[in-house]
Structure 1
Amino acid sequence: NAHSDQPFQLYIEEFEKAYLLETRQYYSKEAAEAVALQNISGFMHEASKRLAEEAERSRKYCDKSSIDRIVKECELQYLSAHKGRIYAEFETMIARERFEDCSLAHRLLSRIPDDAVPLLEIYQGYIASTGRTMVIRMGSGVTKDPREYVDSLIQLQKRYMDVSNTVFAGNAAYIAAVDKALGTIVNDSSSNPHAQSSEVLARYCDLLLKKSTKIALADAEVETKLGSLITIFKYIEDKDVFQKFYSRTLAKRLIFATSVSDDLEASMISRLKEVCGVEYTAKLQRMFTDMTLSSEINTKFRELSEKSGVQPGVDFGALVLTAGSWPLTGLSSTEYQVPQELEKSVAQFAIFYHANHNGRKLSWMWHLSKGDLRLNYLEKRYELNASLYHVGILLLFNSTDSLSVREVREAICLAPAEIKRLLKVLVDVKLLTSTDPESGDESILSLNLDFSSKRTKIRIAASSEKDTSTDVEQTRSAVDEDRRLYIQAAIVRIMKSRKDTSHVELVAEVLSQAGARFQPSVPMVKRCIEQLIDKQYLERSKVNRDRYVYIA
């Protein structure tokens, strides 16, 4: 016949085509019966077994060129025809931890191009849904104690990374699915408005790195937790928000000397630098530099005081902080009257500093200052650590046992509302007694001569040490302002480089450059462009209104 000179073509026409047709019909019927009679686990095991048997049989009895086509027919009838059933059960397999079935489903559907993609989507969706449910359940508790939120995210990420590595053999697509799911959970606060991840992670860091009588962890344990926290931090889009809140809590730890360890603080900053670069941590590093320089300045001041023979009378020390590096949102009262006992020390330090640092200005942050007092009027000696405002009030009682609220207010020159808040704390700890719970101007404050405490060292936490809703709002406002300036700077850099560019290209480049720190909205970028046009940094092209020209 026509194939006498082409024997292999004869094989294809007379045997292979008919065999493939029979194979298709046979496995179509067998697969339909198997899926009807067995659960999905049994069906997948049967499919795996039949595919292996068919491949072995084809190697024995057919030409090697036919093997792939025959196995393909088996895959089409067993897998492609019934993949919908596998998809429908896959989430249940994950939820019930039927990981052997999950692995088998992945291996089977990966044999056919693109058939495994829906498994990835289901896997990612399940993790994201689990995380959202977890976050919703926490409610407003996230704000009060961030530990459950962060620890739960760490456990969720670790669990499904382990699943991806063991069940799916470290397949990069499944690892990426875990990353995308965690990114969705971390950056979506719509399910729980209290779960602002950037802020919560910053508070969690503060808990780990701040001295506490409630939480006592070994340094090695803190290091481990910081490492896990950085894993979650990488998923955050608004890294600038974390930076703002973290720098604020770091500032308080440094100013009030409440850091667990300088080494742990340095380790955390090093981790942030690895993820976000040197620019991200520049101000944080500067804060540590200021602390070191302040220690040197205080040493020199003491040495000079000893040499000159002018003793300030009290053990005095000052932290000299660079204004642009420290996120100090609150402002000291310019009216505040420094206690007489400290006036000499403050004046001497100011003279010393200006003599050594010409052209610099000192702005005293009284609301962040603290002092130690000894209570000598009781049988038992007590040492008190309190804010300078509280110290100022108590020192007024060195010369008298009783004062009116009006006299206190006039002596230290603070606003009435601030005075009431300060006095309430002193009355609550029973150092003072008051004739009026509301501390009206005419109410009389007296030293409590019967004061008693189990502790000989008493610490009164300053309000500036604690987070308030006002502080949080001020920090968020600062973030918005920083973003505006960052976008404007990026626009000017781009325009200075390109001289002329289209609106679409400019917006796309700004979004790309800002993406590492935060995700700016297109309307925000447009507003910044308009502001720069008003400031005459750039202008619209006279030829094409959709293009911008840089103004040198």
Structure 2
Amino acid sequence: MLLKNKVKQMDPTELEEKLSQAVIIFRFITDKDVFNNFYLKLMTTRLLQDQSTSADAEGSIISKLKECCGVEYSSKLQRVYQDIRLSEELDGLFKNAVDMSIELTVKVISGSASPFGNVNCTFTIPEELGSGISSYQAFYINKHQGRKLTWVYAKSRGDIQYRCPNGKNFVFTASVFQMAIMLLFNRYDEMSIEDIQKNTDIKVELLVQILKIFLKVKLLLCVASTKDESELKATDVMKLNTNYKNKKLRININVPIKTVDKEDDERTHRQIDESRKFVIEAAIVRIMKMRKSLKHQELVGEVLNHIGAKFSPTVPMIKKGIEELIQREYLERDATTRDVLNYLA
């Protein structure tokens, strides 16, 4: 919370003191790898959405984590932080070089450091946004030959103006998916959910949840037979609320979607499990390469000591790692003493 810009602004000295106190607490966390993965995701989101207290504060906490846990632990955090800073410079060059009809800001993060991985989402970018994306793509490739950009639309957002027929103008901060849906109503008075899906290519499960947000804020109205808006059907018809009212002229509808957050968390946990598997196996190989032969229980104990600073592996996790390495012929059971393991060079 200290690093979110919604938090009451602190004096830089006070903020630095609070961050130092937070790192003291961090030292007592057992599973530091779990913290690292989720912190990376939260930090990246703050930087992408311009929600950070300050770039200096983000850099300060990375330095403190590096001092506490080493370069390897903080490497992805540092990479994302640097990528975002470089993106700001690149964005300035792009805006000077290309005349755009819309304001476009792009932030580029190295795929190897991104906490979002290959976000599996289908989406057809609307024409109104497509030209800007194509322009940036051409600009970037010209600057960085051989690189490839993968657009993470699920983490993108923008401001879109609604000139309401009742005479009022509203500005909505919306996800790119929400923007694509709203832009459809420049061309159509009414659309079924099925037609919206065909035009945007957004997965049905996600689309329904996005539409429920529109219905909740009464920006879209359901005009079909469905009485219970919690049970939307593909044939239900949506129309823009031409008499939309709100005391605020700027409204944020880019709110978290539970299933998306759940999928993000599940993906993060899978990444942690996969990373732990490699850490355990690497520790076993390093220990056995040095010791050549060890009793099974002794090896388990040494692995626990070796990686205890990163996370607390369970004995079954270590045993599974040993079995996998036996199958891949890194280790073998001693022919005469079955509880002894030998390293195969």
TM-score, with length taken from structure 1: 0.57
Match of 1:343 in 2: 130
Is 1:374 aligned with 2:161?
Answer: yes
Higher relative contact order (CA 8 A, sep 6+): 2
2:3–2:53: 8 Å Cα contact kept in structure 1?
yes
Structure index of larger Rg: 1
2:293–2:343: 8 Å Cα contact kept in structure 1?
yes
After TM superposition, the structure 1 = structure 2 runs for residues 333-412 of structure 1, keeping only pairs within 5 Å, are 333-334=121-122, 336-378=123-165, 379-412=167-200
After TM superposition, the structure 1 = structure 2 runs for residues 35-434 of structure 1, keeping only pairs within 5 Å, are 207-212=1-6, 215-219=7-11, 220-305=13-98, 311-328=99-116, 331-334=119-122, 336-378=123-165, 379-434=167-222
Structure 1 residues 469 and 413 mapped into 2: Cα distance closer, same or farther (>3 Å)? closer
1:283–1:325: 8 Å Cα contact kept in structure 2?
yes
Taking the aligned partners of 1:225 and 1:359, their CA distance within structure 2 comes to 43
2:104–2:132: 8 Å Cα contact kept in structure 1?
yes
Shift of 1:344: 1.6
Structure 1 counterpart of 2:282, from 489, 498, 507: 489
Code of the residue aligned with 2:163 in structure 1: it is N
Match of 1:189 in 2: none
Does the residue aligned with 1:274 lie in a helix, a strand or coil? helix
Taking the aligned partners of 2:79 and 2:257, their CA distance within structure 1 comes to 21
Taking the aligned partners of 1:381 and 1:456, their CA distance within structure 2 comes to 7
1:538–1:550: 8 Å Cα contact kept in structure 2?
yes
Code of the residue aligned with 1:506 in structure 2: it is L
Q: Deviations over 1:96-124 (max 9, x none)?
A: xxxxxxxxxxxxxxxxxxxxxxxxxxxxx
Task: Give the aligned length.
Answer: 338
Structure 1 residues 464 and 248 mapped into 2: Cα distance closer, same or farther (>3 Å)? farther
Taking the aligned partners of 2:254 and 2:5, their CA distance within structure 1 comes to 13
Does the residue aligned with 1:398 lie in a helix, a strand or coil? coil
2:208–2:232: 8 Å Cα contact kept in structure 1?
yes
Structure 1: runs of 5+ lacking an equivalent: 1-206, 306-310
Percent identity between the two aligned chains: 38
Taking the aligned partners of 1:226 and 1:298, their CA distance within structure 2 comes to 30
Structure 1 counterpart of 2:248, from 425, 433, 455: 455
Taking the aligned partners of 1:293 and 1:387, their CA distance within structure 2 comes to 24
Structure 2 counterpart of 1:532, from 316, 322, 325: 325
Taking the aligned partners of 1:284 and 1:466, their CA distance within structure 2 comes to 26
Does the residue aligned with 1:403 lie in a helix, a strand or coil? strand
Does the residue aligned with 1:211 lie in a helix, a strand or coil? coil
1:329–1:471: 8 Å Cα contact kept in structure 2?
no
Taking the aligned partners of 1:466 and 1:281, their CA distance within structure 2 comes to 29
1:503–1:546: 8 Å Cα contact kept in structure 2?
yes
Larger proportion of strand: 2
Taking the aligned partners of 1:357 and 1:330, their CA distance within structure 2 comes to 21
TM-score, with length taken from structure 2: 0.88
Taking the aligned partners of 2:262 and 2:85, their CA distance within structure 1 comes to 31
Shift of 1:433: 1.5
Structure 1 residues 521 and 442 mapped into 2: Cα distance closer, same or farther (>3 Å)? closer
Does the residue aligned with 1:453 lie in a helix, a strand or coil? coil
Taking the aligned partners of 1:286 and 1:459, their CA distance within structure 2 comes to 30
Code of the residue aligned with 1:313 in structure 2: it is S
Taking the aligned partners of 1:465 and 1:230, their CA distance within structure 2 comes to 30
